Amino acid sequence: MNIDNARNFYSGFYMHAPAGNNQFSYSDRNHQYIYVPPLIQGSLNDVVPGDEIVFCEVNEGIEQKKSGLRQFVYTQINQTEIFVFDNHNHAFFFWMLAYQQGVFHESSALVHVDQHTDMREPSSYFSPENLNQFDLKAVFHYTNEILNVGNFIKPALQLGLFSGIQIVDSSTAFQQDHAGEIVLDIDLDIFSDDMAYIQETLKMKKIRELVQQAKLITIATSPYFMDQLHAIQILKKIFEN
Amino acid, single-letter form, for residue 172: T
pLDDT in tens, 120-147: 999 999 999 888 889 999 999 999 999 9
Report whether pLDDT(52) > 90.
yes
**Does residue 113 contact residue 186 with C-beta atoms inside 8 Å?**
yes
Q: What was the pLDDT predicted at 86?
A: 98
Polymer length in residues for the chain: 241
Element (H, E) at 156: helix 153-159
Residue 208 has pLDDT above 90, yes or no: yes
User: pLDDT, tens digit, for every residue of 72-82?
Assistant: 999 999 999 99
Query: How many whole angstroms separate alpha carbon 20 and alpha carbon 89?
Result: 9
Average pLDDT taken over every residue of the chain? 96
Q: Coil, strand, or helix at residue 75?
A: strand
What is the model's pLDDT at position 194?
94
Of the two residues 178 and 190, the one the predictor is more confident about is: 190
Query: What pLDDT, on the 0 to 100 scale, is given for residue 179?
Result: 87
> Does residue 30 have a pLDDT over 80?
yes
Q: What is the pTM of this model?
A: 0.97
CB 149, CB 223: distance < 8 Å: no
What is the rounded end-to-end Cα distance, in angstroms, of the chain? 24
In terms of DSSP bridges, do strands 80-85 and 72-77 run parallel, antiparallel, or are they unpaired?
antiparallel
Percent of the chain at pLDDT exceeding 70: 100
pLDDT in tens, 57-95: 999 999 999 999 999 999 999 999 999 999 999 999 999
Q: Do the Cβ atoms of 95 and 183 come closer than 8 Å?
A: yes
Q: What are phi and psi of 35, to 5 degrees?
A: -115, 140
- CATH class (in words) of the domain with range 71-239: alpha beta
Report the pLDDT value the prediction gives residue 154, as an integer from 0 to 100. 98
pLDDT at 241: 74
Cα 40 from Cα 27, distance rounded (Å): 33
* pLDDT band with cut points at 50, 70 and 90 for residue 204: very high
pLDDT at 129: 82
Percent of the chain with pLDDT over 90: 95
pLDDT in tens, 93-111: 999 999 999 999 999 999 9
pLDDT tens sequence across 155-180: 999 999 999 999 999 999 999 998 89
What pLDDT does residue 132 have?
84
Alpha-carbon distances of 61 from 22, 30, 58, 86, 199, rounded to whole Å = 17, 12, 6, 24, 33
Q: What is the pLDDT at residue 133?
A: 87
